Amino acid sequence: MLTEQKVKEILQQVQDPDLHKSIVDTGGVREVKIKDGYVSVKIALNRTGTAEQMQVQQQIVNLLKGAGAESVGLRFENLDGSSQSQGGARHQPNPQMPPLLRPDNKTKFIAIASGKGGVGKSTVTVNIATALSRLGKKVGIIDADIYGFSVPDMMGIDSRPKVIAEKIYPAEKFGVKVMSMGFFVEDNSPVIWRGPMLGKMLNNFFAEVEWGDLDYLLLDLPPGTGDVALDVHDMLPSSKEIIVTTPHPTAAFVAARAGAMALRTNHEVVGVIENMSYFENKASGEKEYIFGKGGGEKLAKDLQTDLLGQIPLGQPTMDDEKDFAPSIYEETHPIGKIYADIATKLVKKLEK
């Protein structure tokens, strides 16, 4: 079992990149908190906002997870006491650090999570992203569901990312930039990788891709609370999170686990989306609650957040070959209007 003393012993292996001394010896281990397998550590380095800090961050996460931590939360400050996002000229971010991960980056990260598969999380992701783009926002998607990647197919993307002058430029459609494991796998082959390899691929999506200026970057997380979801939480300590569920009480109960993990890793759950809420009979106009009622409302109440929207069962009508996208609803489609309303709520909530 991990204790504060054990954590400090483990961190004795980590050196400050500038001082070449253990962060324990420099007094850089400022705070250690342990609760239910979650380890939160506050670290002080001689300089923050550098590419070397990212290496330190990854080393700490790997060491603590290897010692039994389920999840690791990290905060950094300078040894002189100033925070990572403050300080004078000598604390300015290193230009070699990936722009997307710099402390002064203005992009808002929104992770889309679910407790289980099959609730339509990826469908929700691509439609929120498209709706945000229609509002004039600069939007990107990282398809972090590496085993179950589906975003390129859902958006009807038939091109691949381009490599120009050793830089990777994401594919783009409907004004949304996209990176996915699906671009690097031939013929829909299964991905048979272990956790560390998946984490490395995710890190590449953040660090090696030229995203440009983004207002929002959405992350389509794998269902559940496994390694990939934990890696994303560790990489993005300030991410916002949306939990997707169906109205069935059991689905909402399982989804609560994903919400609990977000809260334990200091992410803010900004809302719940209830998908497959009902089926509207075209002949009678009546709503049929095929999967039950109330799951989304109960989950939002349990997580003390908002129910952003209830999305019925449906199918996009877009069939123009030029804009073919099996899962993207037209702006004028009734369900497309629901997504537009959700996107508007998100903008008001995150930009107030």
Domain covering 4-97: architecture:
2-Layer Sandwich (3.30)
- The pLDDT assigned to 137 comes to 96
For 256, phi then psi, to 5°, come to -60, -25
- The pLDDT assigned to 88 comes to 33
CA separation for the pair 243, 295 (Å, rounded): 12
Percent of the chain with pLDDT over 90: 35
Lowest mean pLDDT among 86-90, 121-125, 259-263: 86-90
CATH number of 108-350: 3.40.50.300
- pTM reported for the whole predicted model: 0.72
Cα separation values, 101 from 20, 204, 207, 238, Å: 24, 12, 7, 11
CA separation for the pair 71, 17 (Å, rounded): 24
Closest of 1, 125, 102, 7 to residue 48, by C-alpha: 102
* pLDDT tens column, 91-149: 444 445 567 767 677 899 998 988 877 889 999 999 999 999 999 999 999 988 777 78
- The pLDDT assigned to 219 comes to 92
Where do the structural domains in the chain lie, given as residue ranges? 4-97, 108-350
